Amino acid sequence: MKVRRHRRNVGFQWCYFSFVALLSLAGFQSACRQRRRPLYAVIPKAQAHIYWQAIHAGALKAALEANVDIIWNGPATESDYAGQIAITEDFISRHVDGIEIAPTDRDALVNAIRRARDAQIPLTVIDSGANTEDYVSFVATDNYGGGVIAARRLAEILKGHGNVAVIALLPGSGSTTAREEGFKNTIAKEFPKVKIVAFQYGMSDRSRSLAITEDILTAYPTLDGIFASAEPGSIGAAQALKERGLVGKVKLVGFDTSASLVEDLRGGVIDSLVVQDPFRIGYLGLKTLIDARAGHTPPKHIDLPPTLVTLENLSQPSIRVLVSPDVEGYLH
């Protein structure tokens, strides 16, 4: 009888300690989950251009300040709508703590953005709009205003008359469409003697932008000016002017910045650049998500002013920060 009682006691103790161990393990796992650093996804339109690298660096700065993590992933090209949708869907499935996204297309990403809302994942749209209000904030340059600045600058250096062409980026891109509309509308309203004789898309590709600029220069040998609405078009148009020996003869106003564009500005290939602050866009985009997670209500729209950069103001400290953001310091 004593032996049987002892065995019952041992069995009871084993069950008890097993139960306590399971509770401890569950508590440990719960604590680990609670201690996990928040993880935010940042999804650019593409990854190669310096503009998107500056967005990445700005988001990293905000993440470091808030002691959170980010995961960066985007399609290879800005025309890969399906790729960006798939990346967004993957982050929704992983239930990240928030999503910062620059939609490749105003319509293509709407359903994915709504699915993030349905999954209760806060999402901020940056750079380029989407045809939905299902987001925490929209952080972007005043792109229409940037197009207005470009139109007025080109008309000024052409002394109010001449034939010009537009090297556009990509159909459906909200940010560049706004720039192109701002340019076209301002030319039509304020400068009736300036005629837009050609408007073509470079499809966010430097080589294609070079090719279509050369086609336009062939079709319009007396062309006076060009407006390129984004970095790939600005680089392609500048290269075309160099190859055709038209530097200084055809005035070029570009949009965005890179080392080669600044070099061409210094060399007189480009008259001026309308420049954004992508570092700040990436930074503020993540900040709005962090604030939303903390129970705050960020502004629904945050518009950042574009800046006209010329050879005359290029050396100013405030301009140097815009044309050469501290990308390397955060990405490496």
Domain formed by 143-275, architecture: 3-Layer(aba) Sandwich (3.40)
- Describe the crossing of helices 206-219 and 231-243 by its angle, rounded to 10 degrees: 50
Specify which residues 23 forms β-bridges with. Answer: none
DSSP characters over 57-90: HHHHHHHHHHT-EEEE---SSTT-HHHHHHHHHH
Which pLDDT belongs to residue 269? 98
Q: Which pTM does this prediction carry?
A: 0.84
Residue among 177, 197, 195 at smallest CA distance from 187: 195
Residue among 214, 311, 328, 307 at smallest CA distance from 261: 311
Q: Return the domain boundaries, the chain.
A: 39-142+277-304+326-331, 143-275
> Cα–Cα distance between 69 and 90 in angstroms, integer?
17
DSSP characters over 138-180: EEEE-HHHHHHHHHHHHHHHTTT-EEEEEEE--TT-HHHHHHH
Query: Taking the domain 39-142+277-304+326-331, which CATH number applies?
Result: 3.40.50.2300
Which pLDDT belongs to residue 48? 78
Which pLDDT belongs to residue 32? 39
Residue 171 backbone class (left: φ over 0; alpha: ψ -120 to 50; beta: rest): beta
Q: How many angstroms separate the Cα of 115 from the Cα of each of 122, 138, 268?
A: 11, 17, 48
Task: Find where tokens 């407006």 sit.
Answer: 227
Same fold across 39-142+277-304+326-331 and 143-275: yes
Which pLDDT belongs to residue 14? 42
Flag residues of the chain having pLDDT under 50: 1-35
CA torsion sign for 240, 242, 245, 247 is positive
Strands 272-275 and 307-310: antiparallel
